[in-house]
Amino acid sequence: MRSIAVGAIALAVLTSPLTADAKSKSGLLRLKSQSDSMLAAQSSAPLLVVVSIKKQHVRVYDINGEVASSRISSGKPGHDTPMGVFSILEKNVYHVSNIYSGASMPYQERITWSGIALHAGIVPGYRASHGCIRLPYSFARKLYGLTKIGNRVVVSYDDPAPIPFENPKLFKPLPLDDATAMTSDPSRPQLIAVNDRTDDNSTSDTPQGLPRLIGVSPALLRAVADMPKDPQRRPTTRTEADQIMQEKLDNARTALKTAQAALTAADDKVKATAKDFDDARQKFESARNVIAPLRAAVKTAESRQKDAMASFETYMSGGAGPSGTRSQAGAQSDNAMDREGELENALLDLTIAADKARADAAQGEMNFAEVQAVYSAAQTARDSAVDAFRDAEADLTSATASLSDANKEMRRRSKPIAVLVSLRAQRIYVRQGFEPLLEAPITVTPLAHKVGTHVFTAMRYGSDPNTFDWRLVSAQTPMPGQPFDQKKRRTASAQGEGSDVQMATEALAAFTIPDEILQTITERARPGSSLIVSDRELPLNENGSGTEFVVLTR
């Protein structure tokens, strides 16, 4: 009966009418939960945020097109918002400006370390900020949920939209696996590589490997994959790249466990040898306390023996004087003791005592030598154990650092790679996870005119998993044939997809990436990776630590 009553009370509470305020709060919470779930689901895909200064508008794109948009307010005259290519460097729901008197900047998304960010603020319909990109509060919150650190932000005077783009100069990912690598290019024969040289007399261009296989069985692919490989090998497929990274991580974990076990064993050894050393030291101290009086007794006995010998020799030396001297002395004292016998007996007794002292000391020295040897061995063992412990500590520190580096490398490899080619500087820059990978000179064909700044983004793997589905956003496209010294801004009528494609194609054709660098890029490329090609140089003041790339077009 009691359970029924409790259930009835609970049912009454659940079915009682809610106040208007409670309903409103419940609805807001439900909408917020649904919105957060939707944003979390969307945020896994690469996004492109494009800001138009001219239209005072921002649009967010994914692989399928525009997913969100809003009006903005950019920098007012004298505080112009910089234009160019950026990425989201930092996100903070509650942020206050350290430049403008602690001004509130909710849902801040930083794009430069010099102070430019997207954030919620007053959007009056015209340029009114001090350089940041203000967003309506509701959209700022939505955008904050959509984006993540590293998402590309393009700020342009015009309103460029991402367009599909293909070009052989755009890098490809590693093949997915051996099977797709063999079937991705049907125009090439499927051969197993061998070390045999081609026949010098052969007129065929086909390598003299094994004959073309009619189908490759999964068992053969597994057997080839399981063959021992060079630890320093470079992966040929994405599957192998993952395996190499996992092996590196597993080896680092194993090394860490081994180092931890070695340190524990070394610590136990230090404790054991320290105890043995303390025991041996106590015995050594006791033995030294025993041998010290024996050594002193020998010195005393030998000193007395030496004195008796001197007395006897002195007496005998006196008895060897002129004839009749002794008989005269004896006549003077007939009752005197026989001095010679006394001295001789005394010498004999002291000699016996010295011999005994030496014998006792000799036995004591033997015992002391044994104790001292044990003590020395214990000291050596303790010192060796301490040295081994220090080595084990160093090995553990090294293993910990190696595991940390492996984890860091795995986290970095999970992030898209960013490549910047500066045609003006004739250099290539490669970064991943905001960390520099390499920088090197490249070969650039002399440019007769400006080609602009173009961002190519690998949005996903293509229908062929060994390719990327690329999108082009032109951050700045000059007039065709516009010379470098001409600063005239192109008008809206002069722009268009055709012009963007033309200039982007010319930009790609102007440089060649060295094979070694291209291989590194290919090994690390994944969806979300990007290539920026610009006829401008990289501004060093905006591209320090913790930055991907900032390319200013104005």
Q: Give me the tens of pLDDT residue by residue for the chain, a chain 554 residues long.
A: 333 333 433 333 333 443 434 444 444 344 344 444 444 434 457 899 999 999 999 999 999 999 999 999 999 999 999 999 999 999 999 877 655 555 788 999 999 998 899 999 999 999 999 999 999 999 999 999 999 999 999 999 999 999 999 999 999 999 998 877 766 554 443 333 333 334 444 444 433 333 333 334 444 444 444 444 555 678 999 999 999 999 999 999 999 999 999 999 999 999 999 999 999 999 999 998 998 998 898 899 889 989 989 888 888 887 544 444 444 545 445 434 577 888 888 889 989 998 998 998 899 889 989 999 999 999 999 999 999 999 999 999 999 999 999 999 999 888 999 999 999 999 999 999 899 999 999 999 998 889 999 999 999 999 999 999 999 999 988 876 666 655 554 433 345 678 899 999 999 999 999 999 999 999 999 999 999 999 999 888 888 878 889 999 98
Q: Alpha helices, DSSP H only, in 320-338?
A: 325-332
Domain presence at residue 4: no
Residue 176 class from Cβ within 10 Å (0-12 exposed, 13-18 middle, 19+ buried)?
A: middle
Q: Residues 490, 401: one domain?
A: no
Q: Residues 503, 531: one domain?
A: yes
Domain presence at residue 239: no
User: What is d(CA 163, CA 186) in angstroms, rounded to the nearest whole number?
Assistant: 29
Domain presence at residue 302: yes
Q: For residue 203, what pLDDT is reported?
A: 41
Q: For residue 318, what pLDDT is reported?
A: 74
**Domain final residue pick, 362, 394, 413:** 413
Cross-strand pairs, 92: 108
Q: Residues 147, 77: one domain?
A: yes
User: What is d(CA 195, CA 540) in angstroms, rounded to the nearest whole number?
Assistant: 48
Is residue 174 a contact partner of residue 523, using CB atoms and an 8 Å limit?
A: yes
- Residue 233's φ and ψ, nearest 5 degrees, are -65, 155
Q: Residues 387, 259: one domain?
A: yes
Q: Residues 369, 455: one domain?
A: no
Domain presence at residue 193: no
Q: Residues 257, 318: one domain?
A: yes
CA distances from 374 to 9, 277, 285, 367, 371 (A): 84, 9, 12, 11, 5
Domain presence at residue 34: no
Q: For residue 98, what pLDDT is reported?
A: 58
Q: Residues 373, 250: one domain?
A: yes
Q: Residues 268, 282: one domain?
A: yes
User: What is d(CA 142, CA 146) in angstroms, rounded to the nearest whole number?
Assistant: 6
Residue 380 sits in a domain of what CATH number? Answer: 1.10.287.620
**Domain final residue pick, 144, 159, 174:** 159
Domain presence at residue 2: no
CA distances from 413 to 42, 46, 518 (A): 22, 16, 16
Model's pTM, two decimal places?
Answer: 0.69
Between vectors from CA 205 to CA 204 and to CA 211, what angle results, nearest 5°?
75
Is residue 83 a contact partner of residue 552, using CB atoms and an 8 Å limit?
A: yes
Q: Residues 388, 249: one domain?
A: yes
Q: Alpha helices, DSSP H only, in 130-172?
A: 137-146
**Domain final residue pick, 137, 159, 181:** 159
Domain presence at residue 378: yes
User: What is d(CA 349, CA 326) in angstroms, rounded to the nearest whole number?
Assistant: 26
Q: For residue 108, what pLDDT is reported?
A: 93
- Residue 423's φ and ψ, nearest 5 degrees, are -70, -30
Q: Residues 458, 382: one domain?
A: no
Is residue 398 a contact partner of residue 256, using CB atoms and an 8 Å limit?
A: no
Cross-strand pairs, 441: 427
Q: Residues 278, 395: one domain?
A: yes
Sheet strands side by side (includes 530-534): 163-164, 468-476, 453-461, 530-534, 417-422, 427-432, 435-441
Identify the sign of the CA torsion 199, 200, 203, 204.
positive
Residue 523 sits in a domain of what CATH number? Answer: 2.40.440
User: What is d(CA 478, CA 490) in angstroms, rounded to the nearest whole number?
Assistant: 6
Domain count along the chain: 3
Q: Which domain holds residue 70?
A: 45-159
Q: For residue 153, what pLDDT is reported?
A: 97
Q: For residue 305, what pLDDT is reported?
A: 87
Is residue 105 a contact partner of residue 93, using CB atoms and an 8 Å limit?
A: no
Q: For residue 251, what pLDDT is reported?
A: 95
Q: Residues 422, 400: one domain?
A: no
Residue 122 sits in a domain of what CATH number? Answer: 2.40.440.10
Taking CB atoms within 8 Å and a gap of at least 24, the contacts of 275-282 are: 276/378, 276/381, 276/382, 277/375, 277/378, 277/379, 277/381, 277/382, 279/378, 280/371, 280/374, 280/375, 280/377, 280/378, 280/379, 281/375, 281/378
Indicate the pairing of strand 417-422 with strand 427-432: antiparallel
Domain presence at residue 93: yes
